[in-house]
Amino acid sequence: MISVESGEQFHLKNDSFSYICGVVDRRFLAHLYWGAPVREIDPRGLPRPATASYLTRIPLSMEGAGVSGSGDRGEGYPEAGGDRGGRAPLSADALAAPEAPQPPAVSLDLLPQEYPAWGTGEQREGAFAVVYADGSEASRLEYREFEVIPDAAEPEFLGLLRQEHELGRVETLRIRLADPRGDISVDLYYLIAERAPVLIRWARFINTSEAALTLIDPASASVDLPVGPWEVLTLGGAWSRERHILRTPLAFGGYSVGSRGGATGHQSAPFLALCDPAADEEHGRVYAVLLAYSGSFEARCEVDQFEVPRLSIGLQRYRGHLEAGECFETPVALLVSSRSGFGGMSDDLHRFLREGVIPKRWREAPPKVVINSWEAMYFQVSHDRTLSLARGGRDIGAELLVLDDGWFSRRRDDRSSLGDWWPNEERFPLGLAGLADALREEGMEFGFWMEPEMVSPESDLCREHPEWVLQIPGREPTLARSQLILDLTREEVREYLIDTVSTLLRDSGASYLKWDMNRNMSEAGSLNLSRERQGEVMHRYILGLYEILRRLTEAFPGVLIEGCAGGGGRMDYGLLRYCPRFWASDQTDAIERLEINYGTTLLFPPEVIGSHVSTVPNHQVRRITDAETRVLTSLPFSFGFELDPAQESEEERLRYLEGARRFRELRQRFSSCRFRRLLGPLSPESRGRRLSGEPAGEVAWMLDGGDEVFIFYYRPLTRSNVRPRRLRIPGLTAGAIYQEQETGIRYDGALLGQVGIVVEPGPGDYRSTFVTLIRTGADRP
């Protein structure tokens, strides 16, 4: 998988891709190729712009150049207020006159790089910045050595792969770069697995100087790609509109998305893709970077003067203090390149997450049908009401009740009690344990909601431990949802949370925990850390969170932790290791959810995406949709209910029961099916929508299990006098015969790929339909 040619060209290769970088002039680590597997690369054959004398130039040999590349700092800079009389720090012969004949040189302005350092000949954005003890901010990274590690060498709290992954053999390449002045070295890590279509990258900084320095916003990966034309695709939105598809051409300049609030956020997923302007679900090149991290991040693309795009992803708002000899490891990034559009990209990511990241236990035990109390009761929860909700849930096919917000201390609304995690005695006289027992007697499993990272100013915990809150002395704390954030950089806070959550889990015997987080950070300071370390607070917080979740999941392997952050405000691969299921959005309207689920499946397989049937009129948008469409919108995902069955009609309850029954029958198969989006914003058909007069906003997807294919079609708005909707079903076996279960019609796999099936969900708006194709075994001779 990793081969090294003459110690200078590094080729990472498996059946899915080749990724090649090489050392130029024995000094600079250049990016050479990323894409379909190739046998080899001769760098002389790669297109590159002509050099010109007005670009930055580094003579091929430093000898005699007189530039300090040897660690010699001369006299350094004057102290504040000092003056050295304008003495030139560089010797004159280092500066070639413009008209002089140019000696052979490397121009960092032109070199496609693996991990660019800004300020010493590179004018594009660097992959990091360092402020050195002398106040300077320019770095140079040069190649030093490499090592092939026959294993995964991921960072302890930030690694991604589960121990018992199914990706085959794994190797890690470490390439050491160092600043010739001797201040820092940077180890670049590249992890490749035999059967993973994804490359994992991260970086480790070492302060090799004798003084402390400041490291700013290190990227986990950076890569310079071939010239476009390109478009940028990201997933973004806001609360209740998460992960909508945003796409824009990028000809010159920069485009970035990210978050600065200590969580990945509702606004942007930690992901950015470059794609051919014509790329769709099935066609075109896509290069994507993702960050397996749950805090502030930036994903960026900068197109330079020669139209070369630089793609990078990493930390944002990180200002780390590194003492002499101290190290810092970035989170890990995932790089995926597809030659079959966004469908190919999602396919690669889903496969990788299923086989390498999501705990095996949860893959083998797909999600239970949940009934959650939030939209049924909001804060008005009690033992009796919860019990009757559970009974109603059981009668429509739910298996597990999740008691949401409102069960603890004096919590009656969102203004108090976070941190005081004991059941309200009046409303839950038997405690959570008593409630859980009563539910089990009714044949229901029990789960409950917590927001462990948070504290209400109006709480005993906050009064007892004001120092446990993230804060900046002298600054008024900004509230959001009337709450503050606990300082997870503090060991005693982590221990307190582990202890509190463990006690509740143990006492109640719960098998499910909904872990919510409802605000981003402000005044992100810590009384626990020194002045120099305040810029590390948001990152250290996330490391603290991972430690808590790691210890809890180790201690309670049978408890499923559902990730939630005001819906999908922190849905990322960093948490996926601990949370095999996410509440993807507080938006429960079936039609609004189509767009959210569509975007979410770009990155996540469907079983990870919690999508519940709620009542009508919908609580977020007041829309009224029929029960069939609400059920079918949730069915391919992690199915459940967000309603009070007692308030629903008999007809609706029957439809819900039928949906739950179907989900329970199919869920095991669903979680090993290949998920494919058939119709929606990125499908080839969408481009001609206006001309063909087809209805707007249609969505379709399928779960392809080889012998069984499950197809879902949704039509938000109808149109008059249009031709019947045909749905092409790509990727089936040509020559194999598939029979439509509902009608008995038989199709050849080739015909399904070219012509498709007709789907007709009936008259009116907000309609949907479900089709099952069964492979008959009657293949063409």
Return residues touching ligand DGJ (CB under 6 A). Answer: 374, 404-405, 449, 516, 518, 564, 566-567, 583, 586
| Nearest CB to ligand DGJ, comparing residues 483 and 633 | 483
- Integer-rounded Cα Rg, in Å, for the chain is 28
Strand 674-679 to 213-216 pairing: unpaired
Q: What is the nearest approach in angstroms of ligand DGJ to the Cβ of residue 449?
A: 6
SS (H, E, C) 49-118: CCCCCCCCCEECCCCCCCCCCCCCCCCCCCCCCCCCCCCCCCCHHHCCCCCCCCCCEECCCCCCECCCCC
Contacts of 638 (CB under 8 A, 6+ apart): 367, 370, 581, 606, 607, 608, 609, 610, 611
Q: What is the nearest approach in angstroms of ligand DGJ to the Cβ of residue 380?
A: 13
| Nearest CB to ligand DGJ, comparing residues 187 and 405 | 405
Q: What is the nearest approach in angstroms of ligand DGJ to the Cβ of residue 451?
A: 7
Roughly how many angstroms between the first and final C-alpha of the chain, as a whole number? 39
Q: What is the nearest approach in angstroms of ligand DGJ to the Cβ of residue 517?
A: 9
Q: What is the nearest approach in angstroms of ligand DGJ to the Cβ of residue 408?
A: 12
Strand order of the β-sheet with 213-216 is 129-131, 213-216, 319-322
| Residue 10 structure tokens | 């590094």
| Nearest CB to ligand DGJ, comparing residues 337 and 372 | 372
Contacts of 654 (CB under 8 A, 6+ apart): none
Contacts of 484 (CB under 8 A, 6+ apart): 454, 455, 456, 457, 462, 469, 470, 471, 477
| Nearest CB to ligand DGJ, comparing residues 17 and 449 | 449
DSSP state of 45: G
| Nearest CB to ligand DGJ, comparing residues 565 and 679 | 565
| Nearest CB to ligand DGJ, comparing residues 201 and 411 | 411
Active site residues: 516, 586
Burial of 203 from C-beta contacts in 10 A (0-12 / 13-18 / 19+):
buried
Name the residue number minimizing CB distance to ligand DGJ.
Answer: 405
DSSP H or E stretch at residue 679:
strand 674-679
Q: What is the nearest approach in angstroms of ligand DGJ to the Cβ of residue 381?
A: 11
Q: What is the nearest approach in angstroms of ligand DGJ to the Cβ of residue 516?
A: 5
Contacts of 660 (CB under 8 A, 6+ apart): 369, 396, 397, 398, 639
d(CA 646, CA 628): 18
SS (H, E, C) 569-601: CCCCHHHHCCCCEEECCCCCCHHHHHHHHHHHH
DSSP H or E stretch at residue 763:
none
Contact 284, 257 (CB under 8 A): no
Instruction: Categorise residue 269: left if φ over 0, alpha if ψ from -120 to 50, beta otherwise.
Output: beta
Q: What is the nearest approach in angstroms of ligand DGJ to the Cβ of residue 458?
A: 15
The Cα diameter of the chain in Å comes to 92
Helices then strands, counting H and E runs in the chain, come out as 14, 41
DSSP state of 353: I
Q: What is the nearest approach in angstroms of ligand DGJ to the Cβ of residue 402?
A: 9
- Give the total residue count for the chain: 781
| Nearest CB to ligand DGJ, comparing residues 284 and 640 | 640
| Nearest CB to ligand DGJ, comparing residues 143 and 374 | 374
Half-sphere exposure of residue 23: CA atoms within 13 angstroms, side-chain side: 19
| Nearest CB to ligand DGJ, comparing residues 262 and 284 | 262
